[in-house]
Structure 1
Amino acid sequence: MQHSIICLLSLTLSPFSLTVSAEEKPNIILIISDDQGYADLSAMGIRDDVSTPNLDRLASEGTRFRHAYASSPICNTSRCGIITGVYQQRFGMQWYGGPGITDWENPTMAELLKKAGYTNGYVGKVHYGSPNGPGTRNFPLEHGFDEFFGSENARIHYLTHNQDAIDAFDAARANNPEPSNSWGMGPFRDGEKEADMEGMSTEIFGDKARDFINRNKEKPFFLYLSFNAVHNFTHQLPQEYLNKHGLEDYDDWDPAAEPYLDWYYRSRRPNNPDGRAHYLGQLHYLDQEVGRLVDHVNALGIRENTLIIYMGDNGGSRPIYAENTPLRGSKFTLYEGGTRVPLIISQPGSLPEDRISDNVVSAFDLLPTMLSVAGEDVPEFADGIDLIPLLKGNTPELQHDVLHWKTVDEWSVRQGDWKLHTVHGEGAAPVEKVELEQGVFLRNLRTDPSERINFAQQNSEILAKLGGFHRAWIATLPKSLNNVPSANEWAEAPKEK
């Protein structure tokens, strides 16, 4: 299939317009995937083993971005950036733990759309911070959503969703002190109530999403559909799928049989011979549910009045066999593979179709873009940009001039083709078994997208300029995060490799 490409040069498109009125504002559906690889979209044409026909169809009905970024290389912080439309560091979130959006005093994406007349539903995984239950701001019903079905667990078991399973697991684990984090085997939340369920989480979330659309199709609605696919643990597939594809049933951890971390590492790259097949199985169900949702919206006759956005929450997790080719790195790191994500924006009849964009955009652009199609002003606190002028071809050069990232042990800044990346700690690399090279690195993402060449020594002016941008940005953050390496660090940059 031939695609037109939106690039940084001028581009002439046929005029399109979004009709926004008090009587009929466009519906908005935001779909978030979890830990999906940059290359794990068959429309990318990178991996032969990937098949995502429904996501490919959605891409053909809109614009697919090749330089879209999450605001963080991990789930909870990136999701804070999505829902608030700002760098999550502005309210103290830069890594696991922390308060989530509880310290964010401005309205969320959902609260702004509710004020604009939307009925809001949240389906799926919620992961901001702690505390996160009913009555706290991290709970969807407390930051602008009218309905919620899902789970506040970082991990959600794909197949088991009842209290009896949690009780049995806790009893079996009584004499084993090994940490297991949260397996998410418990009941879902239906509003504030708990609900035991049977079935696969991806399909349950898809069904609940279609039900919300059915009940709200006569008025403007905003649906936030947050899948836990393709997050760990991808071996949790329906038995019929395992049988069909000749895959072994890799059991969950048995506390009586072995230490948790022994089991954990056997399930992950490079130790699981079926690891990639498990991952692709979860991707199959994710793609299937996206297709069912789009078909449903079409069948209701509201597709042309519905903006659909599909985005990954952070870079692909290589330990669970996600692929980020040609990008280096994984979730947990600030290599491109940890932060660059799939992004598709589609509304046939109002926005151009079958487009590919290389413009640099971010997850916190979603809030301004949604408000734009809703006919609302973008709040001054937003760090994102309204992408509608880019999508419609009115401003084809529109993109971020500078983007920043910061975790506990890394920070990076991108301007144009250049990226400055510093690593001054181990981060999650030792536990998650991902690559993380220490030092100061200047990369050219156009000539070296795999980030193998360090240009720091021969480009001292660019190094200093990007470092200055980042220091100025860090100065705007809370004092608890206002730590910056010494100026001598630039002189200590490693030589080109």
Structure 2
Amino acid sequence: MHGRDRSTKFVKFFLLGLWGGFLVLPSFLHAADKPNVIVIFTDDHGYADLSCQGMVEDIRTPNIDKLAKGGVRMTSGYVTAPQCVPSRGGLLTGKYQNRFGLEANKLPLDGFDQEQTLADRLKEADYATGMIGKWHLGPSAYIVRHGFDDVFYQDGSWANFDVEGNDVPPGRKKPTLYHIDAGSQAACAFIDRHHEEPFFLYLAYRAPHVPLDATQKYLKRFPGEMPERRRKALAMISAVDDGVGQILASLQQYEIEENTLIFFIGDNGAPLKIHKEDAPGGGPGWDGSLNTPMNGEKGMLTEGGIRVPFVVYWKGTIPAGQVYEHPVISLDVAATAVSSAGLPEDSELDGVNLLPYLKGENKAAPHDHLVWRWVAQSAIRQGKWKYLQGGERDYLFDLSVDPEETKNLIGEQPELAGQLRDLLKEETQRFDPPGLATDEMSQVWELYFDFYLDGKPAPPLKPQTRVRRRNKQ
């Protein structure tokens, strides 16, 4: 063969190879541009109970603290409801759950069943999707209908993969591990299965929600005198924190930590039941968690019911060490994830893409206002002002100086309160059904408002539960 022929052939092969490379390269780059998304959702986890919050001295969460130190800790991070089911519905759809009739626990899930979840959306961008832990939005066997391909429900009692990362026949399984440890191991197994492709993992720990069932491994980390329910809550949160450490180690093992966006959020405030009674056992009642310094508890639209632990981490993308004071909400998770995955903006989503704000590209507040409605209670926050209504009572607070909601300013600022109420009423017209309330205040909620907002004495404990008196913390 002549030299010229060899050279021509070489050039042809080179050009073919280069062309082939261009055909492959965009796909590779597109995959690399899509961050993994992990959402860790805890259960009845009070605002005080991360050590990085600096509110109480007995909590120890070194791994979650690493997320906060390496990312952003939100001081005004909210969820959409003070109760499990509606809060989860809002998070997973990125829409106010009131828009599709998911007002509270124990209501029909027909509206939610028709909604597109974040998992559904990310599958359109070729994400692997996994759900681990507490569901609370219908039968466990139906989780796969909501966009989740890999499922490890609760402690594995319904699953289609195991903690070793193997596929298993979908269905009920006999749990073999403590549920928090099982969830953590399943999360690491999910990462093992999908570390070479973009993935979305929703990890919903049932902790520190009752029953308080911490194992001795975690209980012994918290010796000394304290209410036993507090000890059990600290132990369960410590188990969650271990899981966060294991997940970070898995991401580092596969060198994908810098391509993974992590949210850590509580689903609502802790249930204190006013008295924080240290009742024996770990059943219904105070779960041992604390909302300090926020006022109120689960089942209220006060800050103690809806302002929660909220951390965002994306190494190398979100600047580390931030403490972010502007209000954000769990609805922002979907909007942020959808944008990060390169999907088109969707006006149906009620949240905001937080990345421009957390990266310092936009100095404004992400939201002009946030609204809530939960059965007989409704609220709006605009800037530093919060208007709250419960039945026939209403309140106005300046959260910049009174995050504990101790001074009702409605008598001093009636015009401002009226403007906020009008805006709240306008916003709730989008809800199903529309309006500021869907029912009357229950006796329990009236007692909560009496005690936490109107300064009335705590109601007496029922004689049958008066075993140990409340913790003074």
Tell me whether 1:83 sits opposite 2:83 in the alignment: no
In the TM superposition, residue 474 of structure 1 has moved relative to its aligned partner by 1.7
Residue ranges of structure 1 left out of the alignment (5+ in a row): 1-19, 162-186, 249-271, 425-437, 487-493
The one of 119, 123, 126 equivalent to 1:117 is 126
Q: Which has the larger radius of gyration?
A: 2
In the TM superposition, residue 328 of structure 1 has moved relative to its aligned partner by 0.4
Q: What is the aligned partner in structure 2 of residue 306 from structure 1?
A: 260
In the TM superposition, residue 246 of structure 1 has moved relative to its aligned partner by 5.8
1:406 and 1:92 map into 2 onto residues whose CA distance is 11
2:414 and 2:106 map into 1 onto residues whose CA distance is 36
In the TM superposition, residue 241 of structure 1 has moved relative to its aligned partner by 4.2
Q: What is the aligned partner in structure 2 of residue 342 from structure 1?
A: 309
What letter corresponds to residue 330 of structure 1 in structure 2?
A: E
Q: What is the aligned partner in structure 1 of residue 346 from structure 2?
A: 379
Tell me whether 1:417 sits opposite 2:384 in the alignment: yes
1:106 and 1:199 map into 2 onto residues whose CA distance is 33
Q: Secondary structure at the match of 1:48?
A: coil
**Residues 262 and 312 of structure 2 are in contact (CA less than 8 Å); yes or no, is this contact kept in structure 1?**
yes
Tell me whether 1:294 sits opposite 2:272 in the alignment: no
Tell me whether 1:206 sits opposite 2:168 in the alignment: no
Paired residues for 1:98-117 under 5 Å: 98-100=107-109, 102-103=111-112, 105-117=114-126
In the TM superposition, residue 102 of structure 1 has moved relative to its aligned partner by 4.2
**Residues 65 and 342 of structure 1 are in contact (CA less than 8 Å); yes or no, is this contact kept in structure 2?**
yes
The one of 214, 229, 240 equivalent to 1:237 is 214
1:404 and 1:244 map into 2 onto residues whose CA distance is 40
Tell me whether 1:359 sits opposite 2:313 in the alignment: no
What letter corresponds to residue 125 of structure 2 in structure 1?
A: A
What letter corresponds to residue 150 of structure 2 in structure 1?
A: E
In the TM superposition, residue 324 of structure 1 has moved relative to its aligned partner by 1.3
Answer with 86-95 or 23-32: which moved more: 23-32
Which structure 1 residue ranges, 4+ long, deviate > 6 Å from structure 2? 494-497
Could you say what the CA RMSD is over the residues aligned between the two structures, in angstroms?
A: 2.5
Q: Secondary structure at the match of 1:320?
A: coil
**Residues 59 and 346 of structure 1 are in contact (CA less than 8 Å); yes or no, is this contact kept in structure 2?**
yes
Q: Secondary structure at the match of 1:228?
A: strand
Tell me whether 1:94 sits opposite 2:103 in the alignment: yes
Q: What is the aligned partner in structure 2 of residue 220 from structure 1?
A: 198
TM-score (norm 2): 0.79
Tell me whether 1:196 sits opposite 2:174 in the alignment: yes
Number of corresponding residues = 396
Sequence identity, in percent?
33
Change beyond 3 A, Cα 1:245–1:380:
closer
What letter corresponds to residue 147 of structure 2 in structure 1?
A: G
What letter corresponds to residue 388 of structure 2 in structure 1?
A: H
Q: Secondary structure at the match of 2:430?
A: coil
In the TM superposition, residue 106 of structure 1 has moved relative to its aligned partner by 4.3
What letter corresponds to residue 30 of structure 2 in structure 1?
A: A
In the TM superposition, residue 61 of structure 1 has moved relative to its aligned partner by 1.2
1:354 and 1:241 map into 2 onto residues whose CA distance is 28
What letter corresponds to residue 229 of structure 2 in structure 1?
A: G
In the TM superposition, residue 463 of structure 1 has moved relative to its aligned partner by 0.8
1:204 and 1:211 map into 2 onto residues whose CA distance is 10
What letter corresponds to residue 404 of structure 2 in structure 1?
A: S
String of CA shifts for 1:472-497, please: whole Å, max 9, x gaps: 112222237665899xxxxxxx9998
**Residues 372 and 388 of structure 1 are in contact (CA less than 8 Å); yes or no, is this contact kept in structure 2?**
no
Q: What is the aligned partner in structure 2 of residue 147 from structure 1?
A: 150
1:23 and 1:496 map into 2 onto residues whose CA distance is 55
**Residues 471 and 484 of structure 1 are in contact (CA less than 8 Å); yes or no, is this contact kept in structure 2?**
no
RCO higher in 1 or 2 (8 Å CA, sep ≥ 6)?
1
In the TM superposition, residue 316 of structure 1 has moved relative to its aligned partner by 2.4
**Residues 377 and 436 of structure 2 are in contact (CA less than 8 Å); yes or no, is this contact kept in structure 1?**
no
Q: What is the aligned partner in structure 2 of residue 451 from structure 1?
A: 405
**Residues 456 and 496 of structure 1 are in contact (CA less than 8 Å); yes or no, is this contact kept in structure 2?**
no
In the TM superposition, residue 245 of structure 1 has moved relative to its aligned partner by 5.1
